[in-house]
Amino acid sequence: MAESRPVKLADLMTELMARRGFARQQAGIALDEAWQQAAGALVAQRSRVGAINRGVLDVVVSSSSLVQAIALDRAALLARLQAALPEQNVVDLRVRVGRID
């Protein structure tokens, strides 16, 4: 019979976290918080962030007037997001009207 070796707790935790998608959940929470800080309370209440795909952050807003407001402040928003999430490499925003609930 072959002997089984003890497994390090750190290795077990890493595997469990990977299986449960813990890193993705944490990244999503960090992205939500960064968006709330960068966009401000008014915009954050009327929008939600989606995924980052090739450096483009998908944002859904409740109205077309909000799309325009974000477009006018796009450069400053991007700068604040890049400062808050340098590892995400956000280079642009894709803003569209949709359901935010």
| Secondary structure class of 1 (helix, strand, coil) | coil
The reported pLDDT for the residue numbered 6 is: 79
The reported pLDDT for the residue numbered 24 is: 58
Give mean pLDDT, residues 61-66.
96
Distance in angstroms (rounded) separating the CA atoms of residues 77 and 40? 10
Give mean pLDDT, residues 83-96.
94
If you classify domain 9-97 with CATH, what class do you get?
alpha beta
Give mean pLDDT, residues 65-77.
96
- Give whole-number Cα distances, 77 to 12, 40, 73, 74, 85, in Å: 39, 10, 6, 5, 12
